[in-house]
Structure 1
């Protein structure tokens, strides 16, 4: 007994000493880098989190050696099986692989990974080791869920970065191309890398698409219309009708300002906006300004006042209608919920119905982005915001890409820089890289009050424009559309938001993810959706009783909103009402790039 106590104390002292030494060294390094101006506060904060995560893993190894020994034994068994597999292949026998990639893992799909034994063994060994490492990280004890998620995030990124597919000497497909092209692929890849670094000198974003193939207003965002109103934060676009009559109540869309509105109007065939116009809707949409340092003090209340509130007044002036239907997408939906709760407190009723597309109102489980949501990370971001006055839209895009790093970073790394191939022209990826900056005050408020403190869903916890708001007091009929594979706004969390929302609420679940689950035109006949008219406290219970329908959710939503259209009127021509046309759609605000905005 004495021996075990002594051993326990010795291990404890060893762990404490290890933690102290590592933390001191980490702090000294971070201070030196910060003082030298090499890294900004947000980057230093991320480095701290990564260091903390890996240090915690090392401490767990010291404190639980027996559990680690068990994991090592399992790892040894799998490598022994891989040895038997190797011998079998050497003598020409067919044998099932010891491990195979996940169905959505495309890194090792090329024939060379399986045809040539050294690379077959190499990629299987990598999969065995990386899965063992991730299992170890997931099994660490005494760590709160948020800390475990963060640790798994950094562990996953470490294993992804070390994949043999990411290096020319260990990727057989790259070696073949290098032999066939006599090394020109690496030269071409180097040129592309230099060009991408030149485009983003302060933040490296891998090239995803042929940017020369697209232009907003030429082959993207081409639905005809006019800008009929603008202020310092947004332009309001009214689209030209394609039907002789339209619904009496106009439709106003509040898109996200984390990226640009034309995700809803990429091409005519896939455009949600064009489809709405063709269904006889008078469609208005907010096109947010791409802000720079001059708008650093614009906050959530400014976005509400100069966004949907100003837009609703403008829609009323343009059409003469006192009531309208609203759609909010992503953070635009969060702003819509805030606005409706404020309008209720003010006794105003300009909204006949509200539609929320993949919208978080309850932020208790923020999805993949949650690994960045903690006080330490936010303080680091706020220091950077205070210095610059904005969050660079390219940094935001990079952050979201990290949530699916193999698909949205490493695949392009391999294709562009190792294979020397130019990225294909893809409208969705062009939009994904056409980011918008975020004003310092607004972004700090959003991170702290919504994500960190989850105050929007708490009654009377937020005060906006002089009123304490309460989502449960909203009595506007609402339609919530979420996506089953959404990794940004997890559907079960959006379901909690629907439960917190007052009034008659309908919840519909689409297949696919945050973008494809929403932008799903009927002609594609893809994904399907689930309906259940009865909201129950538990999301899983709702899903168990739901009914699946094939195809797009768009026609289902159109049937729902028809109840709030108030009949038909002759089609409205943009600019012929009380609001004259300012310029053609898509307007000028949407064409401003993130890098250009910071110079204004």
Structure 2
């Protein structure tokens, strides 16, 4: 116990030790802490540490509630129980130190993030020497778990990433992305998929779905039972979907303008020509929503209004609140990217995936270090995590433009500030009813930021906008199939000046938000007509079966 008191036992250093590298690092970073606050925290820390010492002398095991240490191995063995108790004590006071820093909010947020990354990394659960579950497994298997863990770690070193699922269990087009359809158009940026109708009659106006280019589209079409694509087809919609290319070096010069003109606008035009409809229901998810909204604003500046409705799922148009991602964006970091990638090159999908994993390290990093490497357990098959590991590259010029003009300078929301594809961008000129969805626990697009689009779109006709708040996070909240009737969502038909006012007056409803969206689409999809007998049209033949070639290209 004396050694623990001196060295903080479980790896996270005593924040108030005379040789504390934490305080030294904060000072080097230019962060100041009020001496009075520091003295108070130090006093409180040593009181709690002393209480732990008294419990130890009295042979009283400490109590803690943390899902990382839920196994009885952590609670019943004195050595490991006090290891956890000291770790959690140090972790809590490190967080309090980070909160006490006197610094501008952006710098303070970076300090909080860095401290939390260190705290999570140094959990005793992450090391064989301090993980009783892994030690028990080692003894039980007579060393086989360690050998298996080493083998899994070597495999992952070759991949350059941690395996989150059994990737051999899935194949795109075979047991994920299986909704039947055909590629009816392609250029170097995307393939356009048209899906085969599942009803005898369909709505007159088709649905064009724009997924994010930062991920593969099949998050919207994993399995038949949780496919948003299939759900829309079952509702009687003729569905077109953009499958973005996974850029290689031949696409390293592509710009944001290209994604708007040759990507989103071209997809709109092709869907119009094949369906012979001037109006479409347009759908955007995450970055796909940012892209398609920009495209509609560009078209509006040209006097063209192709959207019968606009659906935006977990989409940022106002980048005032970008959540934890804000720690990765400042002038220095954006300028560095512009110097290295702004005139050509690729932003590797592996780097993007690592960034997003760092936002939830316990769930997407350390959990798998423990199970895969320390316990030698091969991860089970899980379609969503297979998709999560199937990363995509981004063209450097496009990526740099996006970083500076949205995340850094937040220019997209300002009417006329940006010129894209030769036209001024004014989101308020988009003339269509809008359905906006946010996820309550979203760490990538905070739901309040998604709600902010309500004031940017149809600013003079607020009753034409609908907002729905779903439970869970960025992905799990969206992929919440109606058939499973899980989770809940909130609705409020009254206008509100801000997100919190909206939520305070909202009604909580059980189950999936998908039927709410289906009702919105139906209202804007026109009359029912006979389903097309063939996919494509004159000049747009069926090039290959869905999901097409582009989605099968891997970044690694």
- 1:62–1:356 CA distance, 2 compared to 1 (3 A): closer
How far is 1:194 from its partner?
1.2
Q: How does 1:243-262 map to 2 (within 5 A)?
A: 243-262=199-218
Other-structure match for 1:77:
47
Matched, 1:135 2:105: no
Matched, 1:437 2:437: no
How far is 1:378 from its partner?
1.7
The answer to whether the Cα contact below 8 Å between 1:100 and 1:124 also exists between their aligned partners in 2 is no
The answer to whether the Cα contact below 8 Å between 1:507 and 1:535 also exists between their aligned partners in 2 is no
Other-structure match for 1:581:
542
**Distance in 2 between the 1:244 and 1:61 partners?**
66
**Structure 2 residue corresponding to 1:508, chosen from 461, 468, 486:** 468
**Distance in 2 between the 1:241 and 1:59 partners?**
59
**Distance in 1 between the 2:404 and 2:24 partners?**
26
**Distance in 2 between the 1:171 and 1:470 partners?**
55
SS at match of 2:548: coil
How far is 1:52 from its partner?
12
The answer to whether the Cα contact below 8 Å between 2:307 and 2:431 also exists between their aligned partners in 1 is no
**Distance in 1 between the 2:424 and 2:89 partners?**
54
The answer to whether the Cα contact below 8 Å between 2:281 and 2:310 also exists between their aligned partners in 1 is yes
**Distance in 1 between the 2:272 and 2:480 partners?**
30
**Distance in 2 between the 1:477 and 1:62 partners?**
49
**Distance in 1 between the 2:167 and 2:108 partners?**
38
- What are the Cα deviations for residues 323-382 of structure 1, in whole angstroms up to 9, with x where unaligned? 110100000000111112112111112110000000000001111111101011222333
- 1:556–1:54 CA distance, 2 compared to 1 (3 A): farther
**Distance in 2 between the 1:338 and 1:263 partners?**
22
**Distance in 2 between the 1:338 and 1:359 partners?**
12
**Structure 2 residue corresponding to 1:168, chosen from 111, 115, 128:** 128
- 1:267–1:415 CA distance, 2 compared to 1 (3 A): same
- 1:185–1:477 CA distance, 2 compared to 1 (3 A): same
The answer to whether the Cα contact below 8 Å between 2:284 and 2:313 also exists between their aligned partners in 1 is yes
Q: How does 1:92-491 map to 2 (within 5 A)?
A: 97=63, 99-101=64-66, 106-141=67-102, 143-200=103-160, 205-385=161-341, 389-491=345-447
The answer to whether the Cα contact below 8 Å between 1:360 and 1:489 also exists between their aligned partners in 2 is yes
Moved more, 461-470 or 373-382: 373-382
TM-score, scaled relative to structure 1:
0.86
Other-structure match for 2:531:
571
Question: What is the aligned residue count?
Answer: 531
Moved more, 500-509 or 296-305: 500-509
How far is 1:549 from its partner?
1.1
**Distance in 2 between the 1:230 and 1:576 partners?**
12
How far is 1:56 from its partner?
3.3
The answer to whether the Cα contact below 8 Å between 1:223 and 1:265 also exists between their aligned partners in 2 is yes
- 1:61–1:292 CA distance, 2 compared to 1 (3 A): closer
The answer to whether the Cα contact below 8 Å between 2:413 and 2:456 also exists between their aligned partners in 1 is yes
How far is 1:385 from its partner?
2.3
Matched, 1:554 2:534: no
The answer to whether the Cα contact below 8 Å between 1:53 and 1:154 also exists between their aligned partners in 2 is no
**Distance in 1 between the 2:31 and 2:404 partners?**
34
How far is 1:67 from its partner?
2.5
The answer to whether the Cα contact below 8 Å between 1:165 and 1:414 also exists between their aligned partners in 2 is yes
**Distance in 2 between the 1:549 and 1:587 partners?**
38
The answer to whether the Cα contact below 8 Å between 1:186 and 1:419 also exists between their aligned partners in 2 is yes
SS at match of 1:594: coil
- 1:306–1:61 CA distance, 2 compared to 1 (3 A): closer
**Distance in 2 between the 1:150 and 1:61 partners?**
11
- What are the Cα deviations for residues 509-563 of structure 1, in whole angstroms up to 9, with x where unaligned? 1111111111111122222111112232221111111111111111111111211
How far is 1:107 from its partner?
1.4
**Distance in 2 between the 1:63 and 1:331 partners?**
38
- 1:544–1:345 CA distance, 2 compared to 1 (3 A): same
**Distance in 2 between the 1:259 and 1:54 partners?**
40
**Distance in 2 between the 1:326 and 1:423 partners?**
37
Unaligned runs of 5+ in 2: 1-20
Moved more, 480-489 or 62-71: 62-71
Report runs of 4+ in structure 1 exceeding 6 Å deviation. 51-54, 59-63
**Distance in 2 between the 1:469 and 1:211 partners?**
42
**Distance in 2 between the 1:475 and 1:115 partners?**
64
SS at match of 2:490: strand
Root-mean-square deviation (CA, aligned residues, Å) is 1.8
Moved more, 257-266 or 79-88: 79-88
The answer to whether the Cα contact below 8 Å between 2:183 and 2:543 also exists between their aligned partners in 1 is yes
**Distance in 2 between the 1:494 and 1:167 partners?**
39
SS at match of 1:269: helix
Q: How does 1:582-597 map to 2 (within 5 A)?
A: 582-595=543-556
The answer to whether the Cα contact below 8 Å between 2:246 and 2:550 also exists between their aligned partners in 1 is yes
Unaligned runs of 5+ in 1: 1-50, 596-600
**Distance in 2 between the 1:121 and 1:56 partners?**
28
**Structure 2 residue corresponding to 1:538, chosen from 495, 498, 513:** 498
**Distance in 2 between the 1:412 and 1:323 partners?**
47
**Distance in 1 between the 2:29 and 2:310 partners?**
50
How far is 1:54 from its partner?
6.9
TM-score, scaled relative to structure 2:
0.92
The answer to whether the Cα contact below 8 Å between 1:237 and 1:585 also exists between their aligned partners in 2 is yes
